[in-house]
Amino acid sequence: MLELYGQCHGSTVLLHGGAGGQDPKTPDTVSKATAALKTSAAEAIKALNAGLDPMQVLTQVLGKLEDDPQFNAGTGSALQSDGQTRLTAAIMDGARQSFSAVISCSYIKNPSLLAQHLQSESSRVLTNPGAELLARKLRLPVASSLTEARVNDWVKKVPESGCDTVGCVIRTAQGRILVGTSTGGRGFEFPGRVSDSGTVAGTYASKFAGISATGIGEEIVDDGLAVRLETRCRDGWTLEKAGRLAFNEAVALKRLYGWIALDAEGFWNAAYTTAAMSFVVFDGKKGLVHGSK
Ligand code: GLY
């Protein structure tokens, strides 16, 4: 477990690749994930500094992580108990305080892209049949997220390992905050179980702060984690004070989760109560500020 705090001054990108327990069979899981996060964060910062729309940057980063089978999101997601993958992704634009999500989609390559499209719709949280119907209407890539490795894990009943959910929190140089989270869920869960990532407990942003959570979704929902952290910042607490209390509460309750968070002034917080969490903090001026080993 760990809690870290700092401040960035330009555009900022925080990414996590999950706070699952480390799989003893693959001790390099976290370092491999961190390397991929570093590459994605560096690309995102470059795009932000070049003036690309931050929402586009957010979906590009999430799409890239969803396409990387080492993460439990998009391609390579964990299978539920019936052998199906059901993907969830949420996006929140802090400036508009607008949340959108897709829940339990099996045949959408990049659920984060569909969640982003829903930002401008009147129905902003969709599950099936609507989510898959809309994806076809928008001609988004259709794909199974099954990979041989995950199917083998399911057949052998190997529990979901070190890397679960992926998340991204962006702050532009002007202080606009955007958040996105994408997940394949816990693995082996009851079919149709809803992940915290598709709720405001797992993904939340406002003009005050943005948070993406990872770990045991039921505990994240029980604690209303992301929206609770944001509320404390909104009510005048510093992110450090809010993050520290959330961390202490999580430890006291023996929770197994983690999060990345940013506020409008560039203060950041990364914390987890699990054995490990892959994450990076990237500053537009200084480059890599922090990353899991
Ligand atoms: N945090 C991912 C999940 O529990 O679904």
Q: What is the pLDDT of residues 68-84, one digit of tens each?
A: 999 999 999 999 999 99
21 pLDDT band, cuts 50/70/90, is low
Q: For a pocket test of ligand 1, which of 105, 214, 274 has the largest count of ligand atoms closer than 8 A to its C-beta?
A: 214
**For residue 163, how far is its CA from the centre of ligand 1 (angstroms)?**
11
The pair of structure tokens assigned to 197 is 């990532």
Residue pLDDT, tens place only, 189-237? 999 999 999 999 999 999 999 999 999 999 999 999 999 999 999 999 9
Over residues 265-279, mean pLDDT = 95
What number of other Cβ atoms are within 10 A of residue 81's Cβ? 12
Q: For a pocket test of ligand 1, which of 220, 222, 272, 274 has the largest count of ligand atoms closer than 8 A to its C-beta?
A: 220
- In ligand 1, the atom with minimum distance to the C-alpha of 185 is 5
Q: What is the pLDDT of residue 259?
A: 98
Residue pLDDT, tens place only, 91-102? 999 999 999 999
181 is catalytic: no
CATH number of 2-291: 3.60.20.30
> In the chain, where are the structural domains located?
2-291
25 pLDDT band, cuts 50/70/90, is very low
Q: For a pocket test of ligand 1, which of 194, 216, 259 has the largest count of ligand atoms closer than 8 A to its C-beta?
A: 216
**For residue 113, how far is its CA from the centre of ligand 1 (angstroms)?**
19
124 pLDDT band, cuts 50/70/90, is very high
- In ligand 1, the atom with minimum distance to the C-alpha of 202 is 1
Over residues 55-69, mean pLDDT = 98
**For residue 198, how far is its CA from the centre of ligand 1 (angstroms)?**
9
Q: Name the catalytic one among 12, 85, 165, 172.
A: 165
- In ligand 1, the atom with minimum distance to the C-alpha of 88 is 5
**For residue 173, how far is its CA from the centre of ligand 1 (angstroms)?**
30
Q: Who lines ligand 1 at CB under 6 A?
A: 164-165, 183, 185-186, 195-197, 214-217
Over residues 19-24, mean pLDDT = 60
Atom 4 in ligand 1: residue holding the nearest Cα: 217
